[in-house]
Amino acid sequence: MRRPTRWRRAEVLDVGTWQEQVRDGTRPRASVVVLDVEPWVAHWRTGQRELDDAVERLGREWGDQHVHVVTNSARGVSDGLLPASWRYLRVARKPFTRLQVPPGAVVVGDQPLQDGLLAWRLGATFVAVPLPRDAPLWARLLHAASTPVSRLWLRRVTAPEPEQVH
């Protein structure tokens, strides 16, 4: 009987660390960004206009980046707002969605069980967004319950120490 291969965990970075590393060139730009809608793009309680405004703003900032905007909710964006290189997927059934991404992709989200496990499945880096204090109760409970066991599929990366100048 063959032994199972070693369980490879997905790398985890805080969203601020990831953005800083991409900005200063210590981390390459992601080949594809899989972007969770709630809470990074728009809060759960926002309406259509707020969601559209947020997607439009991000589209101006990241228009040339390949982005999959995903949500497990039925929320959608208005027609004509997405840049050509973007895709919007609602009712995504994260972490079991059938997305395909090339190496070097990142999944940006707040939930280790949904977004983190999706990153693991895709072989991507999980960029962790802080859960807002006013998140719905179900989101806070899911986060609290899944965070301790997420070490099975996620590996937190600490920022490298700055080089000493002599």
- pLDDT value at residue 162: 42
- pLDDT value at residue 156: 84
Rounded to whole angstroms, how far apart are CA atoms 41 and 50?
9
Q: How are strands ordered across the β-sheet holding 154-156?
A: 86-89, 67-70, 33-36, 106-109, 125-128, 10-14, 154-156
- The overall longest dimension of the chain from CA atoms, in Å, is 57
Q: Which helix (H) or strand (E) holds 125?
A: strand 125-128
- pLDDT value at residue 138: 94
Q: Report the mean per-residue pLDDT for the chain.
A: 88
Mark residue 47 as left, alpha or beta (left: phi above 0; alpha: psi -120 to 50; beta: remaining). Answer: beta
Rounded to whole angstroms, how far apart are CA atoms 15 and 27?
13
Rounded to whole angstroms, how far apart are CA atoms 87 and 81?
11
Question: In the chain, what are the domains?
Answer: 28-154 (3.40.50)
R_g (Cα) of the chain, nearest Å: 17
Give the CA dihedral 70, 130, 16, 94, nearest 10 degrees: -20
- For tokens 């395909």, name the residue: 100
Rounded to whole angstroms, how far apart are CA atoms 155 and 93?
23
- pLDDT value at residue 8: 84
Tokens of 142: 């899911």
pLDDT digits (tens, 9 = 90+) for 49-102: 999 999 999 999 888 899 999 999 999 999 998 999 999 999 999 999 989 999
Q: Work out the average pLDDT over 43-49.
A: 92
Rounded to 5°, angle at Cα 158 from 119 and 17: 70
